[in-house]
């Protein structure tokens, strides 16, 4: 084990994978000289040179497009589009109409092994165009894989899995987690896509969550534990495909579920989970599945407003207490 921040873990994963596989390269805005907008490629330019750590123009759609073409031609590109997930709005055609569908449209010929990395979430006071959480969009698209790691070990282990996966992966990091430290295994530490992590066992209520909110749920579970409410915390880690079995098993055990994510609640990932649990485990539920997500507003700039826009530890605690 060694201790790394999420940013360092990603960087380590990129480095190891680029050493292992000459097809892997990183392409995006400012990935070179400054080591990436969020310092996730620090030192890689020196090690691999400007061909494989490739700075691009501010042309997000075509960054993804070039990744697709390179991937079809046998490479394994990892791309960054200016860092923020908000900018992936510029790439939806390439990502959804091209990358996600190419293999299917071509009748099973060709693969598109690309990883599109982006940072989600609020907390940095950058307002409405730099604070979104858009995983629900990608999750709605057959052909994509969507990953949302919350720890350094997962960030690295799932990044390796994403790079080795023959399909297009949207790899969603969180700005507030880049500097969070944690243990990372000394070997490759490969993780599997599609498997939730049970962060805590509990009996009264299940918290289903991912990304930054996995941490808030842990905090909330601590507080609730002190008040005698035992929470199980499931960190989904992958949103498409999501680990239905793990969620359903937990629902059948605790009979109560709260889904917590930072994205806007309406039409968010929580809705899919709630609806599925209802479909599959209706009789096991003692109460409706509760969803917590951002209020139905663009992210405001003012920090008080920003803080209250997304689920806080207090809101999670309150929601669980009402339920339990």
Ligand X SMILES: Cc1ncc(C[n+]2csc(CCOP(=O)(O)OP(=O)(O)O)c2C)c(N)n1
Residues lying near a copy of itself in the complex (CB under 8 A): 61, 86-87, 89-90, 92-93, 96-97, 100-101, 104-105, 127-129, 134, 136-137, 139-143, 240, 263-264, 266-272, 274-276, 278-279, 282, 287-291, 296-298, 300-301
Q: Which is nearer to other proteins, 68 or 246 (CB)?
A: 68
Catalytic residue among 12, 17, 60, 272: 60
How many binding residues for ligand X (CB under 6 A)? 6
How many binding residues for other proteins (CB under 8 A)? 78
For residue 22, give every residue at least 6 positions away whose Cβ sits within 8 Å of its Cβ, in sequence order, or none: none
Considering only residues 175 to 204 of the shown chain, the ones binding other proteins according to CB under 8 A are 193
Q: What is the per-residue binding string for ligand X in 19-38, x denoting contact by CB under 6 A?
A: ----------x---------
How many whole angstroms separate alpha carbon 231 and alpha carbon 220? 9
Closest distance between ligand X and the C-beta of residue 33, in Å? Answer: 13
User: For the CA atoms of the chain, what is the radius of gyration?
Assistant: 19
Report DSSP state, residue 132: -
Closest distance between other proteins and the C-beta of residue 224, in Å? Answer: 25
Q: Which of 143, 149, 74, 72 is nearest to 117 (CA)?
A: 149
Stated as kind and residue range, the H or E segment containing 264 is: strand 257-264
In sequence order, the β-bridge partners of residue 84 are: 119
Phi-psi label, residue 194: left if phi above 0, alpha if psi -120 to 50, beta otherwise:
left
For residue 98, give both structure tokens: 């091209």
Closest distance between ligand X and the C-beta of residue 121, in Å? Answer: 16
Stretch that binds other proteins, among 6-14, 53-61, 255-263, 316-324 (CB under 8 A): 53-61
The catalytic residues are 60, 130
């Amino acid at each position: 084990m060694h201790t790394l921040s999420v940013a360092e873990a990603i960087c380590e994963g990129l480095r190891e994978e680029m050493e292992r596989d000459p097809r892997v390269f990183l392409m995006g805005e400012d990935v070179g000289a400054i080591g990436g907008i969020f310092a996730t490629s620090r030192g890689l330019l020196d090690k691999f040179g400007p061909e494989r750590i490739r700075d691009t123009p501010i042309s997000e759609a075509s960054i993804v497009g070039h990744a697709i073409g390179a991937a079809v031609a046998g490479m394994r590109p990892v791309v960054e589009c200016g860092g923020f997930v908000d900018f992936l709005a510029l790439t939806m055609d390439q990502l959804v109409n091209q990358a996600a569908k190419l293999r299917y449209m071509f009748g099973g010929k060709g693969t598109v092994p690309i990883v599109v990395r982006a940072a989600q979430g609020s907390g940095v006071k950058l307002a409405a165009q730099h604070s979104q959480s858009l995983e629900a969009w990608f999750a709605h698209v057959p052909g994509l894989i969507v990953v949302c790691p919350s720890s350094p070990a997962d960030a690295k282990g799932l990044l390796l899995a994403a790079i080795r996966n023959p399909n297009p992966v949207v790899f969603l990091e969180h700005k507030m987690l880049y500097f969070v430290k944690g243990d990372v295994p000394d070997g490759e530490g490969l993780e599997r896509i599609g498997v939730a992590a049970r962060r805590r066992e509990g009996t009264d209520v299940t918290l289903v969550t991912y990304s930054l909110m996995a941490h808030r749920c842990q905090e909330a579970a601590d507080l609730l534990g002190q008040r005698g409410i035992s929470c199980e915390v499931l960190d989904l880690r992958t949103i498409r495909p999501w680990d239905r079995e793990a969620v359903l098993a937990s629902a059948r055990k605790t009979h109560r579920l709260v889904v917590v994510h930072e994205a806007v609640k309406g039409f968010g990932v929580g809705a899919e989970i709630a609806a599925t649990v209802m479909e599959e485990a209706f009789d096991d539920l003692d109460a409706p599945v509760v969803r917590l997500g951002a209020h139905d507003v663009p992210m405001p700039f003012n920090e008080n407003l920003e803080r209250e826009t997304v689920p806080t530890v207090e809101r999670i605690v309150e929601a669980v207490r009402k339920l339990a």
